[in-house]
Amino acid sequence: MREKKAQEEIVGFIAIVLIISIVLVIFLAIMLRNNSPELKESKEIYQFLDSSFHYTTSCAISYEPNYLTLSELIEECKEGLSTCLNEQDPCANAQKTIKSILEASFPASQNNAIKGYEFNSIYTLSEEKKDILNIKEGNCSRSSKGAEILTSSTPGTISSSLKLCY
Amino acid sequence: MNSYVIYSKAQLKIQQMAFVLVALMILFGIIALLYSSITLRSLAQEASSLNEEEAKEVVRMLSSTSEFISSNCENCIDLDKVLLLKYRKAYQDFWNLDFLRIEKLYPESSEKECDLSNYPDCSTITLINKENFGSPSTAFVSLCRWEGYQKCELGRIYASGKSLN
């Protein structure tokens, strides 16, 4: 009789431990979900993209000094029909310019707050999508901030996005 | 003389149950406190980052004012105009700011304050620099100047003052 009573007590104790464990597991799950990598919209990055796209590049197509802005150069890269008067390829020029601007503005390394970045330019026409530029540097596995800017490129749109990883 | 209180079995069981319930309540209370403190902390962080973004937006709006704007593009600063403003003392209190600086980011040039003798081979133009201006808000802008054609570069505008807080 005494043994049975002790068994009942142990069953009760186990039940309580189980309830507490379940509650803790749920709590931990909520916490871990919040810590998963996330992308936040950033006005600063939008301002950066907007200002960078006005940058005057060294590429002129028709005559000098009618130099293209960075956004016009990306559009020229997408067309793929012309070469700059200084015989540079518009895509190579755009790639080099964006990389240099990013390095000057957001130096990325393991010792800095910014661990890496990712820049993408994609041309979209209804369902059709075409990659124009893709620049990646450093490690982008953790949380990040980003923004996207749309520029018209008749008959479609060029969507350029930048993601900074921390 | 010693007195004894005799508890019945049922009373002991109720007491035991009450202790367990109190322990559970305390546990749930601690968990709820922990969760709410974490949530409140993340809310506070979000509020401060929103404030920061708003300040950046206000600073950037400065570049659209007629004193700064370049005629050919929106949100572009006319650097030639800004250099001339530097020498107009009347503009010191015009924006009600304690600090206002424009810095060239790319292409990189020698780290010098611009004046009429070294422009454009310089990196910053400081329009207002009062004492104890605190930590300035900053925004990316496009810096344009005339070189026989409109040439735009990438820069930052820094501003600080009570009107921005």
Is A82 in CB contact (< 8 Å) with chain B?
A: no
- Tell me the residues of chain A between 2 and 21 that have a Cβ less than 8 Å away from chain B: 16, 19-20
CB pair distance less than 8 Å for B53 and A44: yes
The answer as to whether B111 is a domain residue is yes
* pTM of the predicted protein model: 0.78
The answer as to whether B9 is a domain residue is no
On whether the CB atoms of residues B63 and B156 are closer than 8 A, the answer is: no
Q: Which domain holds residue B88?
A: 56-164
User: How many domains does chain B fold into?
Assistant: 1
- List domains and CATH numbers for chain A: 39-165 (3.30.1140)
The answer as to whether B39 is a domain residue is no
> pLDDT tens for residues A61-91?
999 899 999 999 999 999 988 999 999 999 9
Q: Is the ipTM of this complex over 0.85?
A: no
The answer as to whether B95 is a domain residue is yes
The answer as to whether B116 is a domain residue is yes
Q: Find the CB nearest B60 among A16, A47, A52.
A: A47
DSSP collapsed to 3 states, chain B: CCCCCCCCHHHHHHHHHHHHHHHHHHHHHHHHHHHHHHHHHHHHHHHHHHHHHHHHHHHHHHCCCCCCECCCCCCEEEHHHHHHHHCCHHHHHCCCCCEEEEEEEECCCCCCECCCCCCCCCCEEEEEECCCCCCCEEEEEEEEEECCCEEEEEEEEEEECHHHC
The answer as to whether B63 is a domain residue is yes
> pLDDT tens for residues B108-163?
888 889 999 998 899 999 999 988 888 898 999 999 999 999 999 999 999 988 77
> pLDDT tens for residues A132-147?
999 999 888 777 889 9
CA gap A43, B72 in Å, rounded: 23
On whether the CB atoms of residues B138 and B158 are closer than 8 A, the answer is: yes
The answer as to whether B18 is a domain residue is no
CB pair distance less than 8 Å for A65 and B42: no
Tell which residue, A133, A130, A139, has the closest CA to residue A161. A133
The answer as to whether B113 is a domain residue is yes
